[in-house]
Each structure stands twice: as C-alpha cells, then as structure tokens.
Amino acid sequence: MHDGRLHRSRPEGPIRFRVGGVFRSNTIYDVMMKRGWKETESDDDWDMHWADREWVYEVFDAGHLMSWQRVNHFRNGRELCRKDLLVKNIKRAKRTLDKSGKPEEAARFDFCPVTFVLPGDYALFVEEFNRCAGTVWIMKPIGRAQGKGIFLFHKLSQISQWKSEHRWKPDTPGVETYVVQKYIPNPYLVGGKKFDMRMYALVTSFNPLKVYLHRSGFARFSASRYSSDLADIENAFVHLTNVAIQKTSTEYNADTGGKWDLQALKMFVAAKHGRAACDALFMGMQDIVVNSLLGVQKVMISDRHCFELYGYDLLFDDDLRPWLIEVNASPSLTANTRADYDTKFKMLSDLLDIVDLEGVRTGTERTVGGFDLIWDDGPVEPLRTELWTSMLGADFDRRLNPVPTRPAEPPAPAAAAAASSGPTGSSSAAGRRAGGGSSRSLASARRAAAAAAASSATAAGSSGTGSHRGSLR
C-alpha cells in the first residue's frame, strides 16, 4: 500500500465490483446490481471486492490497492471471529484491567461463559469440571460453522471417544482445537422454546475504532420445546438454534424460517418486563458488541481499504443477562424467507451507503438507514427518546434509499429549513418511529408493544417460533 498510485482518483464510469464465488447467488450480489454497479472478474481492476475470508488471508498482503478500492474483511479478522482467539483476547483485556486496579472496567468483559481451549487447557478444564459437579458443558470446534461438531455433555466419560477420535494431546500434530464452555442452564424462553439472536455490526476502522450497529436483526428459535432434562442432552433440536440444524427437523416451519424480527422481540420483552428492564437488556447487548471490539482492537491490523460486517450471536438468560456466543466474519447473507431477504437486502444497502463508493456522504452521519453510529474513537451519545437508550431493535424506515449517483447539491433555503426539523430532529416523524416520540405515554407504548408482538407471533406460526401466542397474552 506504499504505491504512488494510491493517490490517483477513481476513474470515471460505473462502479465495478468483484464477488467471491459463494456470493454470486447471494443477497449482496443483488444489492450491488440494484445500485447499477458492474460485475468484473478482473483480479485487480475493481472498486469493491466482496471476498471470501481465505482470499484476504492468502492474497491481500501480496498485492497493492488503489486508494479508492475497498475490501470487506480486515487482514487478521480471526482475532475476533475464531472462537479460541476471541476468548484469548477477551481474557487478556479483562486480566489487564484487573492488574491495573480497574475491577469495574474489567467487569465489562465478563460476557462470555467460563471457557477453556482444548486440548491446551485440558488440565485446567478438568479441575473446573470437578469443582462444578453436575454442570452441563458444550463443546465447539473452532473452525466449523452451522452447528457442525457441537455437542453437550455432563460427564468426562462422555468425551472419552472425542479425545480418542481427535488425538487430543496438545503435542499431537494436526489436532483439531475445540472450545468448551459452561452451558447456559437458564436461557430465556418464548413459547417454551430456546432462541439466540443475530445482530449486525459494521466496523469501518479499528484505529481509531468506528462501529455502527444495525437496528434490525432476528431471533432464531429451536423447533422443539426446551428441556433441561439430561435425557435430552443430545437433542440438537432442543439446544442448538442454528438454522442449518433446525431446518432438518420435522417441526421446522419453512414459511417463517424459525425466525422472529428483533423489533418484535424487543416489544415482547418491554411488554412483559417493562421498558427500563428491556432498555437495560438491549443496551447490555450493544455494550457487548463494543467491548468485544475493544478487546481485540490492539491486535487488529487496521487498513483504510477495509471494512467488515460482523454477525453477532447472543442470547440472554431468564435474569435478562446477555451472553456472547460467537462473532461471525462471514454472516450468512442467504435468505430462507422473503422477510429474511428484505431485511438483509436493506441492511446491506445501508452498509454500502456508509462505505460510500459514490462519494456522496460527509462521513459524519450518526444514522444511515438502519445503522446507528455507536462508537467513534469513544462512545457516541445515544439518540435519546422517551423509550430507548439503545436503538437496537427499534423501528426505522425500511424503505430503500434512492441509489446515490452524484454528490448532493446544496439545499435551497426552504428545504434546509424543513430539514432542520426532519429525520435528525428529536421530534421528527423518524424520531417518533424510532423511539415512540414524546407525545406517547409509556403506558400506551407498552400496550402498543404487546399488541404488535402478539400480531408478529401469530404470523410466525406454530412451528418456527412455537406457541408464542400463549406467551404473549
């Protein structure tokens, strides 16, 4: 990146994009085509490369990029998205703060269940296992996705076969690394079913750290009712919410995809537990996103050509405490329902508006579509409304923005005056959509939340999200 070519401006003509093979039949491909961008198969003559992670790891350092070229991964994203490295970095950040006499700050990193990396930590794990008799643990391979290789156990004898099959001794070459975590025994249930949540964070820089969080997302439900009975410990349809697993269940509902919109979940929690408890929960999930990124910031290679969309998977327990499950560097952009497609299409369109290859933005916007800027080399003061501190799961205009084509013209005086009370104003229509507006009382907002949540749950059907209607009455 020390080539003099970096300072040349982008050539005239349509924006050219390249995609990795897996993305050619994907939502991101549709979004780029919708913007009027032109696909290219050139190795270096492109403006945007939506690449596989492997391309970044294997090719990026060998080439030189023009100043305007953008790639959708940072060079060493494994530090955040590989399960063992994530745990290592979070533990290190917590330990550093503890040693510095900052226990309150260290406590912010206490969002992962007790975790060990095997085989390296096997002796430490056994010590903890024996100390916590009766605890259920979950094993996850660090390099696989879609729930592959995950299993639960509560006796050391239950992993004897695994140890044999995976040549578990630390000095054995080629050993497959796993993380083992205490299983959350009291997950929050809706309709008697377990779920986790997928939310989307966009990082445009690690130095300084700049993070956007999209308001949309979804909860992924199990097809079967939750059971803590040890007899059901091997039932993946009870314990694992991965769509790749759940869609093989006879109870899977292809119409809903087993998903519930994050906004509907937020309204449900607010209606059942009150606005303050719901706001604290969602702000806690937002803090996990920020703190996990701060935990890896010092080891990440920041590059002005790079941005990254991270898929955060979290759940919360019946005490409304959120937990981080994992972070995905290549969150699934395929859709299993029309609603899922529309949500991802809008989110990706908003992302490209922020990356702004068209050059129409100032870079100072706090909200772009459904994305809110939550960290900009420090915390960004939330857009406070009567209802919410965190806008995660709050409403937003889901219509697509017009496709940008040229820098915006300066507004006429009358238009500027109208804009001063427009979408960024606290009393604007957009502000009322986002947080309920100052004219709505808390009681009426909670009644509306309960009614909307009940309507959403009814639409979800009796399979993907189970018997939500009974829980929402």
311 and 260 together in one domain? yes
Tell me the CATH number at 129. Answer: 3.30.1490.20
**Sequence letter at residue 178:** Y
Domain-terminating residue out of 69, 100, 124: 69
Give the chain as a 3 state SS string.
CCCHHHHCCCCCCCCEEEECHHHCCCHHHHHHHHCCCEECCCCCCCCEEECCHHHHHHHHHHCCCCCCCEECCCCCCHHHHCHHHHHHHHHHHHHHHHHCCCHHHHHHHCCCCCEEEECCCHHHHHHHHHHCCCCCEEEEECCCCCCCCCEEECCHHHHHHHHHHCCCCCCCCCCCCEEEEECCCCECEECCEEEEEEEEEEEEEECCEEEEEEEEEEEEECCCCCCCCHHHCCCHHHHCCCHHHHCCCCCCCCCCCCEEEHHHHHHHHHHHHCHHHHHHHHHHHHHHHHHHHHHHHHHCCCCCCECEEEEEEEEEECCCCEEEEEEECCCCCCCCCHHHHHHHHHHHHHHHHHHCCCCCCCCCCCEECCEEEEEECCECCCCCCCCCCCCCCCCCCCCCCCCCCCCCCCCCHHHHHHHCCCCCCCCCHHHHHHHCCCCCCHHHHHHHHHHHHHHHHHHHCCCCCCCHHHHHC
Task: Note the pTM of the prediction, 2 decimals.
Answer: 0.82
Tell me the CATH number at 276. Answer: 3.30.470.20
Q: Give the domain range for residue 31.
A: 4-69
Q: How many domains does the chain have?
A: 3
Q: Kindly report the backbone phi and psi dihedral angles of residue 274, in degrees, each rounded to the nearest multiple of 5, phi listed first.
A: 100, 155
- For 212, the token pair is 């956007």
Could you give the angle at which helices 442-460 and 262-273 cross, rounded to 10 degrees?
Answer: 130
**Sequence letter at residue 108:** R
171 and 43 together in one domain? no
154 and 251 together in one domain? no
Domain-terminating residue out of 161, 182, 203: 182
Quote the pLDDT of residue 453: 45
Quote the pLDDT of residue 158: 85
55 and 131 together in one domain? no
30 and 164 together in one domain? no
Domain-terminating residue out of 164, 182, 200: 182
Give domain status of residue 118, yes or no.
yes
Give domain status of residue 87, yes or no.
no
Quote the pLDDT of residue 161: 66
Give domain status of residue 400, yes or no.
yes
Beta bridge partners of 116: 180
List the chain residues with pLDDT less than 70.
1-9, 161-162, 164-174, 383-386, 405-473
Residue 216: exposure state from Cβ atoms within 10 A (0-12, 13-18, ≥19): buried
280 and 339 together in one domain? yes
Give domain status of residue 74, yes or no.
no
Quote the pLDDT of residue 454: 43
The set of residues, in sequence order, having a beta carbon less than 8 Å from that of 430 and lying 6+ positions away, is 396, 397, 422, 423, 424
Quote the pLDDT of residue 286: 97
140 and 156 together in one domain? yes
Bond before 410 cis per omega within 30 degrees: no
The set of residues, in sequence order, having a beta carbon less than 8 Å from that of 311 and lying 6+ positions away, is 198, 199, 200, 327, 328, 330, 331, 332
Tell me how far apart the alpha carbons of residues 471 and 318 are, in angstroms, rounded to a whole number: 14
Quote the pLDDT of residue 346: 96
The predicted-structure confidence for 64-88, as pLDDT tens digits, reads as follows 888 899 999 999 999 999 999 999 9
The set of residues, in sequence order, having a beta carbon less than 8 Å from that of 156 and lying 6+ positions away, is 126, 129
267 and 371 together in one domain? yes
Beta bridge partners of 100: none
Give domain status of residue 416, yes or no.
no
**Sequence letter at residue 329:** A
197 and 62 together in one domain? no
Q: Whose CA is closest to 180, among 160, 146, 152, 147?
A: 152
Give domain status of residue 412, yes or no.
no
The predicted-structure confidence for 436-446, as pLDDT tens digits, reads as follows 333 333 344 44
Tell me how far apart the alpha carbons of residues 394 and 412 are, in angstroms, rounded to a whole number: 32
171 and 218 together in one domain? no
141 and 233 together in one domain? no
Give domain status of residue 257, yes or no.
yes
Q: Is there a contact between 331 and 310 (Cβ–Cβ < 8 Å)?
A: yes
Give domain status of residue 155, yes or no.
yes
The CA-atom distances, in angstroms, between 115 and each of 110, 178, 325 are 11, 10, 11
Quote the pLDDT of residue 98: 95
The alpha carbons of the chain give a radius of gyration, in whole angstroms, of 23
335 and 437 together in one domain? yes
